[in-house]
């Protein structure tokens, strides 16, 4: 079967868009082929800085023939209806139609044969559609044309034909560009036109013309050559996958070269050297295999085989890197002249958020909170406060101004240089962590205190000004902040109830907001806010059970109480959601997470997780499974009966009303199991609590075996037995809400 | 050029690899040969060659337009008292605008590099994504930074919008950073060491001889002494004048405009005054945005007026 070769040759496509564009091209063309009845065998897309290419193998030469049945009017229908049918079906006389019968009688039917069209014609329609509607993240016009493409599109190759024959050119034109079989080689080394036939000769001819079509191969060439060059010097490449992909998208013919810079620059922190060389020059850095320190060499990837073997190119790159590193060194040395705390005044002029005050106001809040949190995480309060004070000061350093990704890292270097305690210096860097799912979690207590304080302040702040994440929008990365807190707490096994911290974090922010909105005295406002929050906190515990966020119509009322309530309820609910996502990603059953979250007063993340784990283990046992089944049976009965009688069967059963031994035994065991479970819970021994509840199982089984709940003639006895069933529900509620657990 | 010409001393003085002015003259000659109108710099302070009405305004409207010129550009904030080897508050851009952008614009650009001594057989020339946007001009375009051996030597942009109006046809804009390019071809690491006139010994004039004192004086002026009160009122005056000229220029039920260029001068003026105020550090972050917006509103109104002039294609 024939193959399609397509190439869209343009001016340089931005590296970051290339991979996606290749995938889009493949998908758009093949989807349309399939929609047109042209089911293909395989397809692969390629991309270089100047071309997007697609090869589709095994496309049928023609679309399959199609038959379409068209139902007409009844036999004997008015003449107008018959005439209309003839016209729409393309018939000359009604004799050409068949007559068929259904329940209502005879009607006309015509079968229209639609012969499949040659695939090449269909492709000639598909490709221009794809080109015109291509989903580039940013497209442009050029010259006097109206077509849009990522950069000016120059030529199109489109050939179609079986392996054994010369393929045909697919005939179409897009905005004056006529598809053909001519492409061009490397911009400088082989710019001549090349005639191509199909994928295999296309790839070979391009390779001869100094173009490696496959981006994965270019990346591989770069990586291999870079490693070899490094190895020959006793060095190791500092691998960088996103840089590798980017560089592979900047060249059609990768030529890997090594340059050198002055040893003296190695005094600058290695992160700075790497950022400088990477961001500005898109070059790789190297390290000494023995010392693990950066070497005064770099790897550059050129796009051409220069006549002098690359001497001029290396010299040019070395000069640029020298200038960049000189700038970096200058920034570094300038920064070292100012103590970090002396940068605070500058931060007071920088707005963190219009509604949340300056960076300095924020720093002061974090300082207070870090100090408060310190004892609970085992940190020295004074050191935590110091680290929080200095944590953001490097934001106004020259270096971070130049390379924002070095925030924190530079603060650590500057902190060390000015003789700060090592834990303080490290906390300046680590308080931003974890920055993403793969980032490490701080474990040093001072870092932990500041990291938590920073994140709680962020959450409380944006909650207070109602800038919560919605749907896919989370501009202030609040999900990441909450997840960061969760990971820090869990991975460090911290006992840290969320509510009091969130309360403490919110207080100064609410006080500030109220002060501004009411124009009142701050200290007075602070006390009002404290009272409001204390009040509101009682309601937090309830809100944890319902993690779904309801749109409360009263939420918008400009009432401090309402604002405080919304803030509190939402923030805790948000943590619950994030924890669920986190635990689910770790493989926990979401119904078990729900079952634990439904319990009251759950704001201790570590405890919640332990409960979920204990519950999961319990449900794996026979006792657990049977007890769950018994629980379900009991609640089903109660639910049905409660609905029938329109009353609820809660409250203690009457011990004197028991008639059978099974009733008494169950009631007794419930009593002891509840007490045992309560004691175990008190000791946070969740496994023992589960075991205590598990003791119910044979008694529940026996009860269902021998006792009739719905006794026909004794309403009092029936009610007592229903109440006993309810006791099972109550007893299990000590460890989890079993109603949330799936079968 | 004959062999005899090449050996003549004044010719080698003008070798773009040896003299700053030789580089400029070579680029001018090259683009003149491509049919460009060679203009002289605009006689007002601007932040970039793009502000020259020959680019901003001529990029709008249907008429073809090919021009090239040197534009002294002022970036008050970039001054470093002459102490930084490559930062200047005043520098030269070489600007080329071709409308509609010809299909071989990239090739023409590479040929211009060859003309100034950058041979693609020896050097690594690359087009690296760089989207261009000027918030003050309400303009944007797509293109690249052009790299030579890892150094950015030019900006290459296909204008999509200027003054808030869609560009149709599209102009291709090339901007060469002349000092940086000259430093590269001359092999000099400090801008002030550039050979300006291509002579040697006692006759040699360096870039520093011409501009170092100016860098020092203007840095003092821009950061420390520029008269803030005067600048604030100048901004207001320029803004008001721009509006006034725009209003006065409309004729015949707003179909034609008769004073787009003088109005646009005031827009340029406001923009430069804003840059000076910014360098003086007297504009806060929030105010900054509103000043940029005010200049953009002027630029948009000027663009609209230009489109109602003959140059802008109105009939």
Residue A393 binned pLDDT confidence (cut-offs 50, 70, 90): very high
Q: Which two tokens stand for residue A481?
A: 């902040």
**Chain A closest CA to B177's CA: distance in Å?**
15
Q: How large a percentage of chain A has pLDDT more than 90? A: 51
Is it the case that residue A348 has pLDDT exceeding 90? Answer: no
Among chain B residues, the shortest Cα distance to A256 is held by: B124
> Which of A89-98, A427-436, A532-541, B116-125 shows the lowest per-residue confidence on average (mean pLDDT)?
A532-541
Is it the case that residue A350 has pLDDT exceeding 80? Answer: no
Distance CA A239, CA B279 (A): 40
Query: For residue A533, what pLDDT is reported?
Result: 56
Residue A354 CB coordination number (10 Å): 8
Mean pLDDT, residues A660-689: 90
Is B126's CB within 8 Å of A323's CB?
Answer: no
Is A14's CB within 8 Å of B129's CB?
Answer: yes
Query: For residue A224, what pLDDT is reported?
Result: 97
- What burial class does residue A68 get, using C-beta atoms within 10 Å of its C-beta: 0-12 exposed, 13-18 middle, 19+ buried? exposed
**Chain B closest CA to A346's CA: distance in Å?**
12
From start to end of chain B, where are the E strands? 37-38, 65-74, 90-99, 125-129, 132-134, 139-148, 151-162, 165-166, 172-177, 250-251, 256-257
Is it the case that residue A562 has pLDDT exceeding 60? Answer: no
Is it the case that residue B48 has pLDDT exceeding 50? Answer: yes
Mutate which of A140, A148, A396, A398 to test chain B, going by most B C-beta atoms within 10 A?
Answer: A140
- A616 CB contacts (<8 Å, ≥6 apart)? A588, A589, A592
Residue A633: name the closest of A718, A705, A577, A682 by CA: A705
B168 at the A interface (CB within 8 A)?
yes
Q: What is the pLDDT of residues A254-281, one digit of tens each?
A: 999 999 999 999 999 999 999 999 988 8
Q: Which two tokens stand for residue A522?
A: 């701050």
A12 at the B interface (CB within 8 A)?
yes
Residue A4: name the closest of A196, A241, A283 by CA: A196
Residue B253 binned pLDDT confidence (cut-offs 50, 70, 90): confident
- What burial class does residue B286 get, using C-beta atoms within 10 Å of its C-beta: 0-12 exposed, 13-18 middle, 19+ buried? exposed
Handedness of CA A181, A182, A184, A190 (dihedral sign): positive
Query: For residue A516, what pLDDT is reported?
Result: 61
Is B170's CB within 8 Å of A315's CB?
Answer: no
Residue A560 binned pLDDT confidence (cut-offs 50, 70, 90): very low
β-strand pairing of B37-38 with B65-74? parallel
B102 at the A interface (CB within 8 A)?
yes
- Give A143's contacts in chain B (Cβ within 8 Å): 100-103, 169-170
Cβ-nearest to B121 among A16, A138, A307? A307
Q: Report the alpha-carbon angle A666-A669-A674, nearest 5.
A: 125
Helix (H) or strand (E) holding B302: helix B285-306
Mean pLDDT, residues A138-158: 97
Query: For residue B13, what pLDDT is reported?
Result: 83
Q: What is the pLDDT of residues A428-477, one digit of tens each?
A: 999 999 988 889 999 999 999 999 999 999 998 888 887 888 888 888 88
Residue A513 binned pLDDT confidence (cut-offs 50, 70, 90): low
A20 at the B interface (CB within 8 A)?
no
Mean pLDDT, residues A137-157: 97
Mutate which of B106, B129, B159, B182 to test chain A, going by most A C-beta atoms within 10 A?
Answer: B129
Is it the case that residue A564 has pLDDT exceeding 80? Answer: no
Residue A540 binned pLDDT confidence (cut-offs 50, 70, 90): very low
Query: For residue A256, what pLDDT is reported?
Result: 98
Residue A234: name the closest of A284, A273, A274, A287 by CA: A287
Gyration radius of chain B's alpha carbons: 20
Mean pLDDT, residues A220-248: 95
Q: Which two tokens stand for residue A25?
A: 């091209």
B117 at the A interface (CB within 8 A)?
no
Q: What is the pLDDT of residues B291-306, one digit of tens each?
A: 999 999 999 999 999 9
Distance CA B84, CA A742 (A): 69
**Chain B closest CA to A741's CA: distance in Å?**
53
CB A107 within 8 A of CB A63: no
Residue B35 DSSP class: T
Residue A514: name the closest of A530, A498, A501 by CA: A530
Distance CA A246, CA B204 (A): 44
Is B285's CB within 8 Å of A351's CB?
Answer: yes
Residue B131: name the closest of B146, B145, B147 by CA: B145
Distance CA A446, CA A373 (A): 10
Is A319's CB within 8 Å of B121's CB?
Answer: no
Distance CA A181, CA A484 (A): 55
> Which of A230-239, A417-426, A575-584 shows the lowest per-residue confidence on average (mean pLDDT)?
A575-584
Is A143's CB within 8 Å of B129's CB?
Answer: no
Residue A598 binned pLDDT confidence (cut-offs 50, 70, 90): confident
Residue B100: name the closest of B173, B40, B51, B45 by CA: B173
Dihedral angle, C-alpha B187, B190, B191, B192, nearest 10 °? -120
Query: For residue A83, what pLDDT is reported?
Result: 86
Residue A494: name the closest of A481, A503, A485 by CA: A485
Distance CA A456, CA B150 (A): 43
Is B103's CB within 8 Å of A154's CB?
Answer: yes
Mutate which of B149, B177, B282 to test chain A, going by most A C-beta atoms within 10 A?
Answer: B149
A273 at the B interface (CB within 8 A)?
no
Per DSSP, the residues of A445-511 read HHHHHHHHHHHHHHHHHHHHTT---BTTB-TT-HHHHHHHHHHHHHHTT----HHHHHHHHHHHHHH
CB B272 within 8 A of CB B74: yes
Residue A704: name the closest of A737, A660, A649, A743 by CA: A660
Query: For residue A401, what pLDDT is reported?
Result: 86
Query: For residue A539, what pLDDT is reported?
Result: 42
Per DSSP, the residues of A386-420 read HHHHHTTGGGGSHHHHH-GGGTTHHHHHHHHHTT-
Is A317's CB within 8 Å of B149's CB?
Answer: yes
Phi and psi, residue A414, nearest 5°: -70, -35
Q: Which two tokens stand for residue A282?
A: 């898109």
Residue A594 binned pLDDT confidence (cut-offs 50, 70, 90): confident
A73 — alpha (psi -120 to 50), left (phi > 0) or beta?
A: beta
What pairs with residue A482 in β-bridges?
Answer: none
Distance CA B165, CA A17 (A): 27
Query: For residue A554, what pLDDT is reported?
Result: 41
Tokens 């990704």 belong to A405
**Chain B closest CA to A329's CA: distance in Å?**
13
Handedness of CA A362, A366, A367, A368 (dihedral sign): positive
* Between B11 and A242, residue with greater pLDDT: A242
Query: For residue B169, what pLDDT is reported?
Result: 97
Residue A231 CB coordination number (10 Å): 12
B232 at the A interface (CB within 8 A)?
no
Overall size of chain B counted in residues: 315
Cβ-nearest to A140 among B129, B160, B284? B160
* Between A598 and B147, residue with greater pLDDT: B147
Residue A505: name the closest of A462, A467, A560, A448 by CA: A462
> Which of A243-252, A259-268, B278-287 shows the lowest per-residue confidence on average (mean pLDDT)?
B278-287
Is A152's CB within 8 Å of B158's CB?
Answer: yes
Is it the case that residue A597 has pLDDT exceeding 90? Answer: no
Query: For residue A371, what pLDDT is reported?
Result: 96
- What burial class does residue A113 get, using C-beta atoms within 10 Å of its C-beta: 0-12 exposed, 13-18 middle, 19+ buried? exposed
Calculate the average pLDDT of chain A. Answer: 88
Is A138's CB within 8 Å of B142's CB?
Answer: yes
Distance CA A582, CA A572 (A): 15
Mutate which of B101, B150, B156, B288 to test chain A, going by most A C-beta atoms within 10 A?
Answer: B150
Calculate the average pLDDT of chain B. Answer: 93
* Between A92 and A385, residue with greater pLDDT: A385
Q: What is the pLDDT of residues B58-93, one digit of tens each?
A: 999 999 999 999 999 999 999 989 998 888 999 999
Tell me the pTM.
Answer: 0.77
A250 at the B interface (CB within 8 A)?
yes
Mean pLDDT, residues A636-656: 86
- Give B170's contacts in chain A (Cβ within 8 Å): 140-144
Q: How large a percentage of chain A has pLDDT more than 70? A: 92
Query: For residue A237, what pLDDT is reported?
Result: 96
């Amino acid at each position: 079967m024939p193959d399609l070769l397509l190439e869209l040759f343009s001016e340089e496509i931005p590296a970051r868009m290339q991979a996606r564009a290749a995938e889009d091209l493949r998908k758009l063309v093949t989807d349309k082929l399939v929609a047109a009845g042209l089911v293909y065998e395989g397809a692969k897309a390629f991309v270089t800085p100047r071309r997007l290419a697609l090869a589709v193998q095994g496309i049928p030469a023609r679309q399959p023939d199609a038959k379409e049945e068209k139902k007409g009017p009844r036999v004997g229908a008015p003449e107008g209806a018959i005439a209309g049918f003839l016209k729409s079906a393309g018939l000359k006389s009604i004799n050409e139609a068949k007559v068929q019968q259904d329940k209502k009688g005879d009607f006309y039917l015509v079968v229209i044969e639609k012969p499949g069209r040659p695939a090449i014609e269909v492709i000639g329609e598909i490709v221009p559609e794809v080109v015109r509607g291509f989903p580039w993240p940013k497209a442009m016009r050029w010259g006097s044309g109206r077509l849009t493409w990522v950069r000016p599109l120059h030529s199109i190759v489109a050939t179609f034909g079986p392996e054994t024959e010369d393929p045909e050119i697919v005939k179409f034109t897009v905005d004056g560009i006529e598809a053909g079989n001519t492409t061009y080689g490397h911009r400088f080394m082989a710019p001549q036109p090349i005639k191509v036939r199909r994928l295999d000769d296309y790839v070979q001819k391009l390779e001869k013309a100094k173009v490696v079509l496959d981006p994965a191969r270019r990346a591989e060439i770069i990586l291999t050559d870079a490693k070899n060059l490094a190895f020959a010097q006793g060095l190791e490449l500092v691998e960088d996958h996103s840089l590798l992909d980017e560089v592979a998208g900047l060249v059609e013919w990768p030529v890997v070269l090594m340059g050198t810079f002055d040893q003296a620059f190695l005094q600058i922190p290695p992160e700075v050297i790497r950022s400088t060389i990477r961001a500005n020059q898109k070059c790789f850095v190297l390290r000494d295999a023995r010392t693990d320190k950066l070497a005064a060499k770099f790897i550059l990837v050129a796009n051409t085989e220069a006549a002098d073997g690359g001497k001029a190119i290396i010299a040019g790159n070395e000069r640029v890197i020298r200038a960049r590193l000189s700038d970096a060194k200058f920034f570094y040395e300038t920064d070292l002249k100012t103590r970090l705390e002396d940068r605070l005044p500058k931060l007071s002029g920088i707005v963190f958020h219009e509604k949340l005050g300056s960076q300095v106001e924020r720093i002061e809040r974090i300082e207070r909170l870090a100090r408060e949190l310190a004892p609970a995480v085992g940190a020295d309060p004074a050191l935590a406060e110091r680290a929080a004070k200095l944590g953001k000061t490097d934001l106004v350093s020259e270096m971070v101004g130049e390379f924002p990704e070095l925030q924190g890292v530079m603060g650590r270097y500057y902190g060390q240089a000015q003789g700060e305690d090592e834990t303080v210096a490290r906390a300046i860097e680590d308080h931003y962590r974890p920055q993403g799912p793969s980032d490490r979690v701080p474990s040093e207590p001072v870092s932990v205190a500041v990291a938590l304080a920073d994140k709680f302040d962020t959450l409380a702040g944006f909650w207070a000004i109602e800038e919560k994440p919605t749907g896919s929008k989370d501009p202030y990365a609040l999900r990441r902040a909450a997840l960061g807190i969760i990971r820090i707490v869990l991975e460090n096994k911290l006992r840290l109830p969320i509510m009091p911290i969130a309360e403490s974090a919110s207080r100064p922010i609410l006080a500030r907001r109220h002060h501004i909105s009411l124009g009142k005295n701050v200290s007075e406002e602070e006390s009002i806010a404290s009272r409001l929050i204390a009040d509101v906190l009682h309601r937090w515990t309830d809100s944890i059970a319902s993690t779904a966020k309801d749109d409360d119509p009263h939420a918008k009322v400009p009432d401090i109480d309402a604002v405080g309530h919304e803030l509190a309820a939402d923030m805790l609910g948000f943590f619950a959601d994030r924890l669920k996502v986190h635990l689910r990603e770790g493989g926990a059953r979401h119904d078990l997470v729900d079952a634990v979250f439904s319990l009251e007063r759950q704001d201790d993340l570590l405890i919640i997780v332990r409960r979920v784990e204990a519950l999961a283990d319990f449900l794996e046992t026979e006792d657990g499974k049977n007890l769950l089944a018994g629980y379900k049976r009991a609640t089903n009965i109660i639910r049905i009966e409660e609905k029938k009688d329109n009353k609820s069967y809660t409250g203690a059963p009457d011990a004197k009303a028991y008639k059978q031994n099974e009733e008494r035994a169950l009631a007794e065991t419930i009593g002891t199991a509840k007490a045992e479970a309560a004691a175990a819970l008190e000791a946070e021994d969740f496994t023992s609590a589960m075991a205590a509840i598990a003791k119910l199982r044979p008694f529940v089984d026996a009860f269902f075996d021998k006792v009739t709940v719905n006794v026909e003639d004794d309403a009092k006895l029936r009610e007592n037995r229903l109440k006993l069933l309810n006791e099972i529900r109550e007893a299990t509620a000590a460890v989890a809400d079993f109603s949330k657990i799936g079968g | 050029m004959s062999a005899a010409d090449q050996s003549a001393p004044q010719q080698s003085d003008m070798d773009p690899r040896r003299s700053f002015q030789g580089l400029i003259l070579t680029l001018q000659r090259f683009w003149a040969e491509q049919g460009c109108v060679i203009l002289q710099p605009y006689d007002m302070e601007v932040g970039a060659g793009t502000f020259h009405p020959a680019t901003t305004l001529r990029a709008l409207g249907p008429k073809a337009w090919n021009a090239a010129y040197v534009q002294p550009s002022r970036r008050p904030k970039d001054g470093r008292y002459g102490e930084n080897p490559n930062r200047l508050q005043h520098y030269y851009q070489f600007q080329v605008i071709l409308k509609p952008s010809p299909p071989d614009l990239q090739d023409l650009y590479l040929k211009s590099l060859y003309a100034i001594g950058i041979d693609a057989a020896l050097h690594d020339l690359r087009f690296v994504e760089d989207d261009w946007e000027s918030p003050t001009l309400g303009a944007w375009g797509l293109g690249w930074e052009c790299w030579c051996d890892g150094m950015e030597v030019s900006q290459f942009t296909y204008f999509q919008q200027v003054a808030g109006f869609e560009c149709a046809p599209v102009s291709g804009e090339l901007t060469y950073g002349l000092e940086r390019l000259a430093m590269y071809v001359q092999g000099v690491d400090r801008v002030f060491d550039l050979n300006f006139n291509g002579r040697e010994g006692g006759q040699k004039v360096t870039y520093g001889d011409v501009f170092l004192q100016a860098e020092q004086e203007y840095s003092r002026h821009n950061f420390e002494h520029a008269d803030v009160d005067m600048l604030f009122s100048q901004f207001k005056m320029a803004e008001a004048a721009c509006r006034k000229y725009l209003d006065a220029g409309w004729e015949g039920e707003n179909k034609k405009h008769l004073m787009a260029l003088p109005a646009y001068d005031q827009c340029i003026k406001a923009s430069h005054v804003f840059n000076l105020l910014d360098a003086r550090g007297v504009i806060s972050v929030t105010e900054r945005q509103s000043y940029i917006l005010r200049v953009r509103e002027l630029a948009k109104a000027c663009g609209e007026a230009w489109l109602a002039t003959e140059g802008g294609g109105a009939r």
